[in-house]
Every structure is written in C-alpha cells, then in structure tokens.
Amino acid sequence: MRPKVEAPHTILLIDDDPLVRSTCRRILEHAGYLIVTAGDGATALGLLDSNDAIDLVVMDLVMPGMNGAAVLDELHRSSTQIPVVVMSGYTDGMLTNELHSRLAGFLSKPFSASRLTSMVGQALREAPLASHYAGAY
C-alpha cells in the first residue's frame, strides 16, 4: 500500500545512473510526488538555485565529478535547509559523522520501492514547513 500524499511535494532526485534515476522517479511519481532530476551534483545545485519549490533532495552519494558529499557541503555553505536523503551502495568513508548528522535519512542500495517511499515520507513529515530557510544547515 502506497502512502497517501496530501499535497504534491517536489523532490530533486540526483543520481548519475540513468536506470536508478528513472526507476526512483517512477516509484516516487506513482506515490504522488513531483520529481525534478539531475544526473550530477553541479546540475543539481543549479536546479536548487533556480527552483524554490523543491521540498526534498534524494541523492546518490557516489557520483563522478561533484559527489553527494560535495553537494551537502555546498548546501551547508549556502545555508539552504532542504532535507536530504542519501542513497548509496557504498560510502568508502565519504559520509563522515558530520555529514551524516545533516541528513534526513540514508538508504542503502539496493532498497525496495516501499523503503524509498517510506523514507521520503518520513523526511518530509519531519522537515520544517518551508523549502528554504536562512540560517545554519
């Protein structure tokens, strides 16, 4: 049974693997979310700068170029307080305790559709009411 989405939330989904990105997009759209996608960290940051409607970021940690840890650092520097759920099959020390403390959730790959939608729903329920806030992230 899929969770009922009261009002559509917009999620930025970041993953360099097109298959993972499209699969997660379909799962989340089926659950009632609006999805914006990016294949890398730099593109994702551009989308965040130009779209105030993003309520949650769901991203891979290990990506070529700007990885998920670098995206988290940029969000922290810009004082953007959008909740972030990280998904990864391995972290190889990239996810320090400090970075982990900034996350709304962590999904170990592989994960089920129900685990993804459950984690997203939980992150959105526990998030502040507005997408962006000034202040420390």
Residues in contact with 123: Cβ distance below 8 Å, sequence separation at least 6, in sequence order: 56, 83, 85, 104, 105
Q: Are 102 and 45 in contact (CB under 8 A)?
A: no
> Is residue 36 helix, strand or coil?
strand
CATH superfamily assigned to domain 10-126: Response regulator (3.40.50.2300)
Task: Supply the pLDDT for residue 47.
Answer: 94
- Look at residue 136 and tell me whether its pLDDT is greater than 50: no
Q: What gap in Å lies between CA 83 and CA 6, rounded to an integer? A: 18
Alpha-carbon distance of 64 to 76, in angstroms, equals 20
- Write out pLDDT tens, residues 73-98: 888 888 678 999 999 887 656 566 66
List the domain boundaries for the chain: 10-126
Binning pLDDT at 50, 70 and 90, where does residue 125 land?
A: very high
One-letter amino acid identity for 60? Answer: D
Residue 59 is classified by DSSP as E
pLDDT tens string 35-45: 999 999 999 99
Mean pLDDT of 5-11: 78
Determine phi and psi for 88, rounding to 5 degrees.
Answer: -160, 150
Torsion angle of alpha carbons 23, 33, 124, 102, nearest 10°? 40
CA distance 53 to 73: 21
